[in-house]
Amino acid sequence: MRILGIDPGLKFTGYGCVELGPRHEPVVVEAGVLRLKTRAPLPYRLAELHNDLADLFDEIKPQIVVVEKLFSHIRHVRTGILMAHARGVVLLAAQLRGLKIDELSATQVKRAVTGNGHASKHQVQRAIMTQCGLREPPDPPDVADAIAIALCAARRLAPE
């Protein structure tokens, strides 16, 4: 089973795909970032994100797409609204492909990979590097976040 974790954004959208092997231990298949044209108008970037996701789904062929639940701080309401646009495109693209969709909170994901629900981006990067046997932390942090989302979902699905 292939699980694709996505960390949506309007500049970078991180993605990380893990596969559950015979022993139900998740293994990273592919990870990276979709880069959007930051100076382009919002509708253009949303269409660009949708097209990039469609290509990614065709290439990776996930059975499940997992997206982080939206969290917005009162001081950064505008950022939350903008991120909701990107998150909506991810959900729509996956739904149009008939893929199973799951959502996890940032706290759940961070707790699952670091043991601390309020871990920093650097801590998540280091945890992913260690747990996935990578030579260096995934960069930019959006990639580590996406892998963490996929790992958390995979571990929840794996039988005890």
Catalytic (active-site) positions: 7, 68, 142
The set of residues, in sequence order, having a beta carbon less than 8 Å from that of 60 and lying 6+ positions away, is 2, 4, 17, 29, 30
Give CA–CA dist 34/143, Å, rounded: 10
Give CA–CA dist 117/155, Å, rounded: 16
CA 63 centroid distance within chain: 14
Give CA–CA dist 89/29, Å, rounded: 23
- Joined tokens for residue 109: 């994901």
- Joined tokens for residue 86: 């990107």
From 71, 115, 82, select the one nearest 13 (Cα to Cα): 82
From 48, 53, 85, 51, select the one nearest 70 (Cα to Cα): 85
CA 109 centroid distance within chain: 10
